Amino acid sequence: MDRTLEGRTALITGSTSGIGLAIAHAMAEAGAKVMLNGFGRPAEIAAARAKVGAAMGGGDAPYSAADMAKPAEIRAMVAECEATLGACDILVDNAGIQHVSPVEEFPEEKWDAILAINLSSNFHAIRAALPGMRKRNWGRIINIASAHGLVASPYKAAYVAAKHGVVGLTKVVALEVARTPITCNAICPGFVRTPLAEAQVGPLAAKHGVSEEAALTDYLLEKQPSKRWIEVEEVAAMALWLCGPGSGGVNGAALSVDGGWVAA
């Protein structure tokens, strides 16, 4: 078994399901001690903690219920990680929400919430974690952006703006840590297979009067040339590589895992 992260610690936001949970599990299997964060039903959170904890060698993984819209809670979460695990060597900013609406109808409160959780939370977490990384002279910051951090789609003003901001923030932090053994990179996934995403297929099929397979390839994955889902494990593998040996020269990159979307 690959134990390349033995002795490292990781904090992954939005990690009680989906991409975040896959990254947490992969890092735990690679030897890292991992703290989870996120919302969800108590049973789902308990299952996530048990799954990651088992990969760490037993017991439940540590968990923070910090609200990513609240800077004070983010700071407290990073401090809790350092106190519980002894450090925060790896920070994965993954938490995010979405809302779809034309600009002129976009609810102001949705704009504010998406910018707070999808962009500002990254800033607050990095700001809190970076001093410890500098003190220990090693760190990996991974921001989960999106293909929408590089290109746009209609009706997703806040999400696209936030993810473009994440890519910009990634570049700034990378420049500021460039002469240290700390890196900051962004991963830009396309459409990833998650329960929330898969739930869109049926309604699309009904709306357009086509099969679910056609709805997936012709409508939902219209911009994804591979015409297949990106699996959460593929995003996790990229995150794991960014923390392993041989990745230290990769800094400030926006790495696409999107089936060719931004190449088209």
Give the separation between CA 127 and CA 136, rounded to whole angstroms: 15
Enter the DSSP assignment of 233. H
The CA-atom distances, in angstroms, between 28 and each of 8, 36, 71 are 10, 11, 27
Enter the DSSP assignment of 86. S
**Residue labelled with tokens 């350092």:** 82
Q: Of 63, 155, 159, 219, which residue is the catalytic one?
A: 159
CB atoms within 10 A of CB 119: 23
CB atoms within 10 A of CB 54: 15
CB atoms within 10 A of CB 16: 25
| Structural contact between residues 16 and 43, judged by C-beta atoms closer than 8 angstroms | no
Strands 139-144 and 182-189: parallel
The yes-or-no answer on residue 63 being catalytic is: no
Which residues are known catalytic residues? 159
